[in-house]
Structure formats: structure tokens, C-alpha cells
Amino acid sequence: MVLDTIDALDPRVVVLVTSAAVYLVYKNYEPNSPASALILLGAVPGVLTAVLHQHVGSFTAAAFTVYASYWSILATLVVAYRLSPFHPLARYPGPILCKVSKGWLAYIAGTTGKAHLYVQDLHMRYGEVVRIGPNELSITNKDFPIAVLGAKGLPRGPYYDSRRHEAGMSLDGLRDQALHAVRRRPWARGMNSASMKHYEELIHDTLSDLITALKQRTGKTVDMSEWTNYFGFDFMGRMAFTRDFGMLKTGHDQEGLLELIEHAMEDSAWISHIPWSLPFLRFIPGASKYWDQMKAVGEQAVETRVALGSTSRDLFHHLMDEDGHEAVKPTKALVAVDGQLAIIAGGDTTATTLSHLVYYMLRYPKYLDRLRKEVDETFPDGADSTLDFTKQTNSMPFLNACINEALRLYPPVLAALQRRVEAGTGGKMIGPHFIPEETQVSLFAYSIQRDPQHFSPLTNTFWPDRWLSQEKYALPSGDVITADAVVTNRDAFIAFSQGPMVCAGKNVALTEMRGVMCALLQHFDTKIADQSFLDTWEDKVEEIFTTKRGALPVILTPRA
């Protein structure tokens, strides 16, 4: 009887009604598994073809007509709704391609590495709220960093689903705030003041290796971008796994770890924008080879550390809960997942900021001279004393101002800190803007920290004085302005994120940066080997979830 009814209808009506029904399924339930795609996009039009083919002609002609019509109607309904005035985000401006699909921003991120510049340009064109996806807004409003990231903020959005592994989600991908708080406890113990005492010794040892290696290369051209990587990863190996990667001692990356991470991050940069694609990529041979290799690196690091035994209270000691603080001991597989996070976040991000800081010191010699003077005054006993740095570096105002300014202009993670207004909440009012439920809210640190409403004057210029407390400020031009003419909104400084999900290794990273800069400035005079590398440094910066940098060749001369 059903088939007789269908036969009596116009085939075009049947395809239209079926397509509309499937569209509503996608709109209301958002199925994204390969099985659901096979059924809804493949099997359903296949059934329609089998039933309706006698009305069209040959089976082949019917299949082509039905599938083409079915998919075209689905696509038309999706696009029409997302561009219609009935969409919950219709009032917010943005490019048509962004409103239609998040795939456009994924394309920008994956092909150019300049998604951070693209989004900043959108804010310059459209204002402080821009629609960058069908259900996503990028916002630079002054009320949003605390309201979104703070203690009473929003949970993470689907952008972080790309951090999922077979063994579970890494700490930086957990969207459940309660579960994140539980999983963060071992990290907190691994980063507390007692642990920092141990890590300072490791920084001292790694700094000694760095200075020794660079002294062997004085008078020669060395790539400081590369050597900051070596320092970052050698220290990370010692801090996290009591393991020495040996990059500083050998002068190269013997295991190919840096290149592997770069490739894995390049994949993550675009996948994070369309995380629903992950289940489908598993069916493409070689699509996940870099992340599979990263998984192997994390597992090997854990196995090596387990074989070593508890000889050190490193980060792994706390992640494995070897002191027995937790009721349930984590599995080695789950710790391996967080091990990958420690390798990437602990090595790459610190090296990125150090590279930017060295670049700015070379670009602006007057700041280099001021910083060296402060270092010499803080460590009057000579160069060797900087290797035994203490809390003195915490109270060096200009050093910390330079670090903050480098982090402001180029945060290690240039992409979005995404949060979500969950379904059933009724939406959320933040400042003057109402955010409907089931909307993703993204805070691009690059855009926020270069917004004049948060940091001015000289918003896009390296001007560390803005971080100093003074009654009057001298601009690089020589003009003098009063304190009330300087805007430094520390609440909008989100280089390490904010709130409950602030970077767990923030204090370790800052200690590394302070130690490296003090040691470099007291041991060496530095000059750029080729001015063209300074002129193109910022052009070569790419957002690959972390940051891809170019070379920074310098010539080091021992200081008298």
C-alpha cells in the first residue's frame, strides 16, 4: 500500500519531502558518524532510486537524478536557513562563506596558516562581534574574557574534540568542567611551589647546556629560533619524563620530533574547525599518520619512564599519581595522552615566545640595551650568576614587561579559545550582547590583544613600557604622555588563557623565559646575520594551532 501511494505521487515531491525530512534530522540532532552519513546521504536516496526509477527511465538515469536532486535540496535548505533572518545569529555580521560553513575558516587555516590575520581583518571590517561560522561568533568585547573564561564562564566547545584519543581525551580537550577539575589535580601538584624547586634545578642544567653549546658556536651563524626549540624540548623532556632528548648537546633533533610536531599541528589547525571530520579521516589511508606517530612518541616516553622507575619527582610522577593522592590510579594509556600534551605544550610554546622576544630585541636595540642593563644590575657578580637565577627574575620589571609584550603581540596559540553556550540554558547575556544557546563563542587572543580598546597607544607596536606602572610615559617618538592616556587591560591578556582552564604550566614557562633571556644577555652580544630575516620575520609567522616560525640567524660574540 505504501509503494502504491508513492507511485501515485509526483517523484519530485517525494524527493523534496524526503530531503526536507532528512534536513530536519540533521538540524535537530546533528548526527556526524560515518554510519549516519552512509544511511542519510547514501542509503535513503538509494531507496528512493529503487522505488522511483520506473518513473524516470533507466535505473542509472534515475540514480543520477535522484541523488543529484536529493543532495542539492539538502544543501539548498542548509544554506538558505543559515543565511536567513530566522537563524539565531542572523543579527551578527560576517562573510557569507563563514555563515554558510565553518569549512571556509578551516580552509583558510589549512592552506595559508593565517587564520589569525583573517579573523583580525574581519573585526576591523565588522566590529567587535563577527560571525565566523554557522553557529560561532568571534568577540573582542571587553566583558568577554572574564565572562567566558572566568570561574563562572562557559564550557569548552567542539573545537577541542580533535584532542580525543582512543584512550581518552587529553587535559586540554576536556569540555566537562567538573571532569577537567579532577584531571587537573595531578597537573596542579606537578606545578606547585615544591615542584618548581625541582624544575628550577632542571632549568639551570638545561641553561648550562645551552650556553655551552652557543659558546662553541660564537662567531658563527646560529638560528636562534631553532636553538630555542632545542632548549624548550630538552627541558621539557627532563621536566616531564626525566629524559634528555640531547638536542642541545648534539646541535640537532636526532629523533625528528620537531618536524613531527609541526606536521601534526598543521593537521590540527584545520581539523579543529571541523572536528566532525575526524571519524571520516580514519577511513583515508595516511590521513592521521602524524598523529599516530605522536601517539607512539607519547607511549614510548611513558614506557621509558616506567622502566626508569621513580627516581625523580618529575611531572610523570604526579600524572601517574605515584604518591597515591587519587582514589583511582590513571592508566598508562591515559597518561600517554597527557604525555603528548606535555611534549607539545611544554616545548613548543615556550620556544615560540623566546624566539619572538629575541626578534624584538634585535629589531629594537634600545630595548635590548635597557634589558641588558637591568640584567647586569640584578646579577652584578657576572654572567655565571644568571645560571643560578632565583626569585630575582620575578621582580625584574622591564624583563617581565618585555615578555608580556611579546606574549601580547604573538601569543603562542594564535587561534581561538572556544567556549559554548549549552542547549537548555536559554542563552547568555554578556555585556551588551545576547548569545543564543548552542552557539560557540571564540576568543582569538591575537585579535583581542591587538584591539585598541584593550591596549593603546601603539596597539600593534612592541612597546613594553605599557606594562610598567608610571605617572608619565615616553613614546618611541619622544612624545611624553600621562598614565591616563595609556590603556593596558590585563583582563584582556589571555596568552595563557584565564580562569579554571588557565595553562597549567604558566609559571614554569615564565621561569624558563626569564632564565634564558638573562643568561643570553649576560653571556653574549648578539647581532642579526642577515637583516632580511628581521624584515620578513612576522610575515613568516603561521598559525598551525601552535605557531610556525621562520629562521632567525644571529651571530653571537662573548661579552667581555
As annotated, the binding site for heme includes 503
Query: d(Cα 119, Cα 109) in Å, to the nearest integer?
Result: 11
Q: With contact defined as beta carbons under 8 Å apart, do 232 and 350 qualify?
A: yes
Binding-site annotation: residue ranges: 503
Instruction: Decide the pairing of beta strands 553-558 and 524-528.
Output: antiparallel
Query: d(Cα 267, Cα 228) in Å, to the nearest integer?
Result: 23
Other Cβ atoms less than 10 A from the Cβ of 173: the count is 20
Query: d(Cα 38, Cα 409) in Å, to the nearest integer?
Result: 45
Output the CA angle 323-320-314, nearest 5 degrees.
80
Query: d(Cα 205, Cα 30) in Å, to the nearest integer?
Result: 52
DSSP symbol at 344:
I
Query: d(Cα 346, Cα 234) in Å, to the nearest integer?
Result: 10
Other Cβ atoms less than 10 A from the Cβ of 400: the count is 18
Q: Helix, strand, coil shares of the chain as percentages rounded to 5?
A: 60, 10, 30
Report the SS3 class of residue 433: strand
The three grid cell numbers given for residue 127, joined into one nine-digit string: 566590529
Query: d(Cα 403, Cα 484) in Å, to the nearest integer?
Result: 23
Give how far Cα 515 sits from Cα of 308, 392, 425, Å.
Answer: 29, 10, 46
Query: d(Cα 375, Cα 392) in Å, to the nearest integer?
Result: 10
DSSP symbol at 156:
B
The three grid cell numbers given for residue 453, joined into one nine-digit string: 580598546
382 phi and psi angles, rounded to 5 deg? 115, 180
What CA dihedral angle connects 371, 226, 496 and 522, to 10 degrees? -20
Q: Which helix (H) or strand (E) holds 556?
A: strand 553-558
Terminal Cα-to-Cα distance of the chain (whole angstroms): 97
| CA atoms lying within 13 Å on the CB side of residue 207 | 26
| Crossing angle for the helix pair 349-363 and 506-523, to the nearest 10 degrees | 40
Q: With contact defined as beta carbons under 8 Å apart, do 90 and 134 qualify?
A: no
Residue with cell 620575520: 537
Query: d(Cα 221, Cα 331) in Å, to the nearest integer?
Result: 46
The three grid cell numbers given for residue 374, joined into one nine-digit string: 637591568
Which residues have CB under 8 Å from 314's CB, separation 6+?
190, 198, 238, 239, 240, 241, 242, 305
Q: Which helix (H) or strand (E) holds 295?
A: helix 289-308
